[in-house]
Amino acid sequence: MNKEYFKKFPDEKGFFGQYGGAFLPPALIEHFKDITHAYLTISKSHRFISELRSIRKHYQGRPTPVYFAERLSNMLGGARIYLKREDLNHTGAHKLNHCMGEGLLAKYMGKKKLIAETGAGQHGVALATAAAYFGLECEIHMGEVDMAKEHPNVIRMKLLGANVIPVSSGLKTLKEAVDSAFESYLKDPESSMYCIGSVVGPHPFPMLVREFQRIVGIEAREQFFDMTGELPDNIVACVGGGSNAIGLFSAFLDDPSEIYGVEPSGRSFKPGDHAATMTYGKPGVIHGFKCYLLQNEKGEPAPVYSIASGLDYPGVGPEHCHLKDSERVKYVTVDDQDCLEAFYVLSRTEGIIPALESAHAVAYALKLAKEKKYQSILVNLSGRGDKDIDFITENYGYTEEQMQNRLKKTA
């Protein structure tokens, strides 16, 4: 049945139920069809699959382990927490999984250049890494405001050989960077490839990025079964655009496991203070596809916020919207405070500093552990937290007290 699911979703036009599709300017339609065709032929070839497998093993360091967080679990009094360690993937997060796939596809298609936008710079760094590996040019569009905020990632991209294009229009952040990247791609779609950073955007990207991320779930399901002789009772991942989550979830859709996608409820439930798209959004169109969308009365994307910059997108992958409506996955929220506490608790109990994005998933697992006292919980630890340390110390200082409170609460 799983196989049927993947053949059925998305359909030929790129829809997952009513979500997805490709709402594109006429000039781009043919080029996106070419990418779809290339994906459906080249990426299924033996040569492509062998090369990608070899890259995953020898360059990325896959498989990443599943780890039983014993000290954390002992603190919780019954529930068992397991972590899928995507933080140990090369470059420190799951994003390289799809960037290496996109880069390899571009190489097989004879493209010379990879183009993308980046918000916090994580996607830009992963794509610049892939471009360096494949010997392709790389052009990353980034708002000037984000460039100032995320300076170390700008340096990383430049070290890796990427051409970072500052975007100075509008609010100088992600939305303008997307427009700028699309404009540049439109100038030369023959020799360049546009590479999206999550399971979002026009068809075929939500499908293509999912397929390259499925390795996370395929590995984790087997590893967990090997370790325990059973399947996890609960599965948890954070959802920004939704790529790390769909990577893990996709392997368990036919299993009895309960699945939870965690969105950021930020600093309050007011518009502009969170990015909980599934909980507060309504169907709409953004960046060429249909999904739940945080929007104003005019249907324009609303401002969003999260302590984790990788989660603050007003839209969400169309497959997640479908999984919400079909009730296979529950979408829940975690706020900044609980995220921060999980960040400290995991660092202190296990010696693993999680990305703030991933800390949302850990925080929900801690909540769940109270309700599901003797169950297992598999969490996707999508990335490591080194990138967040300066931000945390500058904005939150040393919150030993917060951590101690949490330890007391959970004990």
Ligand X SMILES: *Cc1c(COP(=O)(O)O)cnc(C)c1O
The catalytic residues are: 95, 117, 382
Q: Is 382 in the site for ligand X (CB under 6 A)?
A: yes
Q: Is 242 in the site for ligand X (CB under 6 A)?
A: yes
- HEC secondary structure over the chain: CHHHHHHHCCCCCCEECCEECCCCCHHHHHHHHHHHHHHHHHCCCHHHHHHHHHHHHHHHCCCCCEEECHHHHHHHCCCEEEEEEHHHCHHHECHHHHHHHHHHHHHHCCCCEEEEECCCCHHHHHHHHHHHHHCCEEEEEEEHHHHHHCHHHHHHHHHCCCEEEEECCCCCCHHHHHHHHHHHHHHCCCCEEECCCCCCCCCCHHHHHHHHHHHHHHHHHHHHHHHHCCCCCEEEEECCCCHHHHHHHCCCCCCCCEEEEEEEEECCCCCCCCCCHHHHCEEEEECCEEEEECECCCCCECCCCCCCHHHCCCCCCHHHHHHHHCCCEEEEEEEHHHHHHHHHHHHHHHCCCECHHHHHHHHHHHHHHHHCCCCEEEEEECEECHHHHHHHHHHHCCCHHHHHHHHHHHC
Q: Is 357 in the site for ligand X (CB under 6 A)?
A: yes
Taking CB under 6 A as the binding criterion, the range among 108-116, 167-175, 355-363, 391-399 that sits at the site for ligand X is 355-363
**Among residues 106 and 355, whose Cβ is nearest to ligand X?**
355
Among 73, 91, 129, 358, which residue interacts with ligand X (rule: CB under 6 A)?
A: 358
**Among residues 88 and 93, whose Cβ is nearest to ligand X?**
93
Contacts 24+ apart (CB under 8 A), 3-11: 5/253, 5/254, 6/250, 9/319, 9/322, 10/203, 10/206, 10/207, 10/318, 10/319
Q: Is 241 in the site for ligand X (CB under 6 A)?
A: yes
Q: Is 322 in the site for ligand X (CB under 6 A)?
A: no
Among 55, 130, 142, 239, which residue interacts with ligand X (rule: CB under 6 A)?
A: 239
**Among residues 14 and 189, whose Cβ is nearest to ligand X?**
14
Q: Is 93 in the site for ligand X (CB under 6 A)?
A: yes
Closest CB 89 distance from ligand X, rounded Å: 10
- Cα–Cα dist 406/345, whole Å: 8
Count residues near ligand X (CB under 6 A).
19
**Among residues 103 and 247, whose Cβ is nearest to ligand X?**
247
Q: Is 214 in the site for ligand X (CB under 6 A)?
A: no
**Among residues 75 and 157, whose Cβ is nearest to ligand X?**
157
Between helix 336-350 and helix 356-371 the angle, nearest 10°, is 90
Site for ligand X in 166-185 (CB under 6 A): none
Each residue 111-150 as x (binds ligand X by CB under 6 A) or -, in order, gives -----------x----------------------------
Closest CB 383 distance from ligand X, rounded Å: 2
Q: Is 232 in the site for ligand X (CB under 6 A)?
A: no
Among 103, 124, 201, 310, which residue interacts with ligand X (rule: CB under 6 A)?
A: 310
Closest CB 247 distance from ligand X, rounded Å: 8
Each residue 5-44 as x (binds ligand X by CB under 6 A) or -, in order, gives ----------------------------------------
Among 125, 238, 251, 392, which residue interacts with ligand X (rule: CB under 6 A)?
A: 238
Q: Is 318 in the site for ligand X (CB under 6 A)?
A: no
Q: Is 95 in the site for ligand X (CB under 6 A)?
A: yes
Taking CB under 6 A as the binding criterion, the range among 180-188, 215-223, 238-246, 343-351 that sits at the site for ligand X is 238-246
Where do contacts with ligand X occur on this chain (CB under 6 A)? 93, 95, 122, 198, 238-245, 310-311, 355, 357-358, 382-383
